[in-house]
Structure 1
């Protein structure tokens, strides 16, 4: 099963400062880790961005996804990473030690340069970056995490292997492109105006996700997916709260503050389903990271 999550570049639009925005992205990274998300994709929502936009979101999430022992080597000092000390530890199993076998230890590295002749430069737990051949079955680009089998450290003997890695990759794609390139499975848009997930419907939904995988999209604070997609008739756009008159904590929502009703979006880039995964929410607002925990917990449940 391949699981992808799509979040907008405006996801930190309500954060009062860079520190709070970093903390919010840490919760998103935690959610992706807890539910074994494979791909975390940031799609552009330029109209919803404020001081911190897509580049900041992508950088912080990429940093969070980087194994701790490689972070300093890969990232150094960057303005976007000023407050990464507030990020919660992800504790991904593959980043807490190497798996040893008779053929060597298994670790992971980050591709820092793609060269000719199917070779790449990789930073890993070895003292210096190494140039390695890329197997035909492995697709890489700069920033890709790869599994490396180290059979000797002096002299260095290592190779890239086609082995699944724990943790998630981060990329930036237009929403339409992300759906077109989605792995086999269903594509789901989450919205408080979507079809309600009921106990009768849940087994079928979860079975589809666990059998074939899914790509699940979330909205931003004060901007549900219909609004982001430019649906002028969406309830979100008709009842948008004036965020200047309330505190940021009261406007952090993946939808709006109106009563829930099923709405067929006029602008749909190709989702298979529009789902309301928190049909009886007790708060007027649900944060994006909270919606991720609630939605992924439901849709990945097993028999």
Structure 2
């Protein structure tokens, strides 16, 4: 029988059936507040390399990946993990996700011509804070750039009419820079303020091993057979992973196929009462992030 693990340092094991029939827990503070409590969260989304196993049209394949990227950007996902589930599209998915996350003015520098990007134009633009327009630079402005060496000096392409001289210690390649002077244009390496985009991890490892590598504080599996999200009772904070299955197999089926087991903190049905026979992975990602975003308290 499938086992279910709640979140608490002293984990309690429940049967799947007892979980679904478990009554709501009541708290004495904030009457009416949902039982899913969150604070200080970094989102990690886990998708299988078999995400596109039922999609053969090249334009639709690119569009589906674009929907994942768009959902991640809307809700501030900072890490997207691609785990091994018997698919062959891990590298393709990673390339498109990274391309979508890269500011338009840096794409030619970072991505050579390749077949994977033939239909990248069908992906919706992310329009995240790092995707800044070409405009007059302002002191204090933070922009994503690409550092390169010219002679003994280091310059950065930050998407303006002219390169910026890099001051301070910086590595060649992509980085984040802050404008410290306009005439002449000079920048220093810095860290972004607030959400800046996501990182993509292609592990080529199975789901349980990928989750272990991610070293998360809380891990949520999504399943139509999971507990109704409106009845969930779990405190979420720190690095939170949300795991999605493939078009043909759910999370638990994928684990069983590779003879794995994993102690999830909660198994959630984030689309209770769905009226369609199936929910596509990209749809589940958007719906799940939307529901959890409404409940976050950080």
The alignment's TM-score, normalised by the length of structure 1, stands at 0.70
Deviations 1:235-268 (A, max 9, x none): xxxxxxxxxxxxxxxxxxxxxxxxxxxxxxx732
Partner of 2:97: 61
Judged with a 3 Å threshold, the aligned counterparts in structure 2 of structure 1 residues 229 and 71 are, in CA distance, closer, same or farther, namely same
Judged with a 3 Å threshold, the aligned counterparts in structure 2 of structure 1 residues 101 and 16 are, in CA distance, closer, same or farther, namely closer
Judged with a 3 Å threshold, the aligned counterparts in structure 2 of structure 1 residues 229 and 110 are, in CA distance, closer, same or farther, namely farther
Measured after TM superposition, the shift of residue 121 of structure 1 is: 8.8
**Structure 1 gaps, min length 5:** 114-119, 233-265
Measured after TM superposition, the shift of residue 61 of structure 1 is: 0.7
**Structure 2 gaps, min length 5:** 1-40
Measured after TM superposition, the shift of residue 213 of structure 1 is: 4.2
Equivalent in 95, 100, 113 of residue 77 of structure 1: 113
Partner of 1:89: 125
State how far apart, in whole Å, the 1-side matches of 2:147 and 2:79 are: 17
Judged with a 3 Å threshold, the aligned counterparts in structure 2 of structure 1 residues 2 and 152 are, in CA distance, closer, same or farther, namely same
Equivalent in 46, 67, 92 of residue 27 of structure 1: 67
Quick check: 2:147–2:175 contact (8 Å CA) kept in 1?
Answer: yes
Partner of 1:105: 141
Quick check: 1:99–1:107 contact (8 Å CA) kept in 2?
Answer: no
> If you compute each CA radius of gyration, which structure gives the higher value, 1 or 2?
2
**Matched ranges for 1:50-199 at <5 A:** 53-97=89-133, 104-109=140-145, 124-125=158-159, 127=162, 146-152=175-181, 155=184, 157-164=186-193, 165-173=195-203, 174=205, 175-182=207-214, 185-197=217-229, 199=230
State how far apart, in whole Å, the 2-side matches of 1:12 and 1:95 are: 27
State how far apart, in whole Å, the 2-side matches of 1:163 and 1:100 are: 19
Measured after TM superposition, the shift of residue 294 of structure 1 is: 1.4
SS in 2 for 1:73: helix
CA RMSD of aligned residues (A): 3.4
State how far apart, in whole Å, the 1-side matches of 2:58 and 2:148 are: 27
Judged with a 3 Å threshold, the aligned counterparts in structure 2 of structure 1 residues 230 and 95 are, in CA distance, closer, same or farther, namely same
Paired residues, number: 249
State how far apart, in whole Å, the 2-side matches of 1:200 and 1:286 are: 21
State how far apart, in whole Å, the 2-side matches of 1:163 and 1:131 are: 17
Quick check: 2:166–2:186 contact (8 Å CA) kept in 1?
Answer: no
Partner of 1:299: 292
SS in 2 for 1:223: coil
Which deviates further from its counterpart, 172-181 or 273-282?
Answer: 172-181
Quick check: 1:3–1:213 contact (8 Å CA) kept in 2?
Answer: yes
Judged with a 3 Å threshold, the aligned counterparts in structure 2 of structure 1 residues 184 and 223 are, in CA distance, closer, same or farther, namely closer
Which deviates further from its counterpart, 150-159 or 71-80?
Answer: 150-159
Quick check: 2:139–2:181 contact (8 Å CA) kept in 1?
Answer: no
Quick check: 1:184–1:213 contact (8 Å CA) kept in 2?
Answer: yes
Greater strand proportion: 2
Measured after TM superposition, the shift of residue 226 of structure 1 is: 2.0
Judged with a 3 Å threshold, the aligned counterparts in structure 2 of structure 1 residues 299 and 268 are, in CA distance, closer, same or farther, namely farther
The alignment's TM-score, normalised by the length of structure 2, stands at 0.71
